[in-house]
Structure 1
Amino acid sequence: MEEGEAPVDGEVETPFAAETYAAQAMAADMDPWIVFDSKITPRSEFDGWLERNRPSQVYRFGDEEGGGRPVGWVAVRGPNFIPCTGDVHGLQKSWEKLLASGRPINFHTVRELALKHRVLAGKWLMHLDSGFKLDHAWECVARAALDGKVSMVKVSTYDPKGEARQVICTYNHNFSDESEVIKMDSIIRATGVKCPLTYKPDVYTYLGIYRNNRWKLCPTIYESKFDLECVPRRSHIVNRVTNLKVT
């Protein structure tokens, strides 16, 4: 699961828990996904697909009786979806060299590697308790992907023995373009989603930078809180690297 927020209340953190989160995310990525690809599957089939694959009802390791296959993610690829073309292998080799060099490990040095190897995608994350609110938020952003407003969205599957929350990831192409990141937030908000969001660049995921990591990096670089009191209603977005408000 993509991790970007403070621990769940009552959850006990262990030193360098980031390695555990990274291993869990890798395992989910490698297991089968349930995918609706807008380029291949007729739009008329979407409503039925959505109903059959509500994320609160799709089990991470098979159903309650132990039947069925593991499912890593449920995802919708929009008509403008393009697979990542960055050099992830080169990124990871450069990362090992950076660790061995003794240079500082911070957002700026990681960003240099991401730009060099063109690993630029990122995602807004929403962490929600499994159930109706999760399923509703998922439907909102999934339809945005179907309409071509978002390139891809994915949601983690339900693990009754794991964390109580599931995570929805809404992708954009370039984490280093702040205006693009803000625009994606506004697209998400326009679907009706009002819960807090955090933003994580894919480079952090590929390098195992999750919460409670050994480099003490915040695993997300933006946070967004929707202001219900403001007219017109809008998000307040903070850059967590600089701690400055960006909207």
Structure 2
Amino acid sequence: MAMYDSDYYAADSLECRNAKSVIYETGRNKESIEEWLEKNKPSLIHRDDGFGWIRVVRSEKSKYENDSDEMDVLGLKEAWENLKASARDISKDKIFELGNNFRVTAGKWMFFVSTGGKGDYLWSLVAKGIVNGNTLARKAKISASTLGRECPYANVHVVCIKNDNFCDEDQVYESERTIRSLGIKCQLQYKPDIFTRLEVYKNNIWNLRPTIYISNFDVISNATIIKEVW
């Protein structure tokens, strides 16, 4: 695989954010999640057709949310630019401090799956789990198909399953448990959203790893092992 730098991943992420999304939201879509999934299989929705993500949303308030704690993204980015311009070291601890100060605390468990039947199936487990209230997460998304593209994850989808606070280890672990309860047994990686907000991706100049946990499922013990990787 060719080496792609952080700027490449930043540009790719921006392209996805600006592209069209296919969305199922409880309370808005009239059809069942099963009917919607059948018509909107990730393997059939392509980046080259202008799509970035397929999303599902369960419209209910999380017990972790606080209406007064709205994100200050502009303040975050200003503080980040000031930090980069200073002589201070840039570390994960400093980035996490910024996240807390500006209330940018969301994160996501992620996994990668090949385009095709397997990807469509695992996504359906996640999507139905979100919609039916079987996960701590209320939002999830899967990237559109990159079939035929030359890119780091050609013919592979990334699935992202959100939670509200990466600083709350109990919440992060509980989110992982509910994902596993859906039948997802592949490796999961956990990434705080603040890295995406600050465009800090893999192969960045500070040698920071944007993922902070990895979860592996052990078939013999029928349990998962979560370890910190930062």
TM-score (norm 1): 0.85
1:39: Cα distance to partner?
2.9
Q: In the TM superposition, what whole-angstrom CA distance separates every residue of 1:157-184 from its partner, at most 9, and x where no partner exists?
A: 0122142211000000000001111111
8 Å Cα contact 1:81-1:152 kept in structure 2? no
Superposition pairs of residues 3-22 of structure 1, within 5 angstroms: 11-14=1-4, 17-22=5-10
1:38 aligned to which of 26, 50, 67: 26
1:114 aligned to which of 72, 89, 99: 99
Q: Residue in 2 aligned with 1:169?
A: 160
1:81: Cα distance to partner?
6.0
SS at match of 1:225: strand
Say yes or no: does 1:80 pair with 2:60: yes
Indicate the larger mover: 149-158 or 159-168. Answer: 159-168
1:23: Cα distance to partner?
1.0
Q: Residue in 2 aligned with 1:92?
A: 77
List runs of 5+ in structure 2 lacking aligned partners. none
TM-score (norm 2): 0.91
Q: Residue in 1 aligned with 2:194?
A: 203
Distance 1:157 1:51 in 2: 15
8 Å Cα contact 2:109-2:161 kept in structure 1? yes
Q: Structure 1: which 4+ aligned runs deviate by more than 4 Å?
A: 81-84
How many percent of aligned residue pairs carry the same amino acid? 34
Say yes or no: does 1:215 pair with 2:195: no
Number of residues paired by the alignment? 219
Say yes or no: does 1:186 pair with 2:186: no
Say yes or no: does 1:53 pair with 2:40: yes
Q: Residue in 2 aligned with 1:67?
A: none
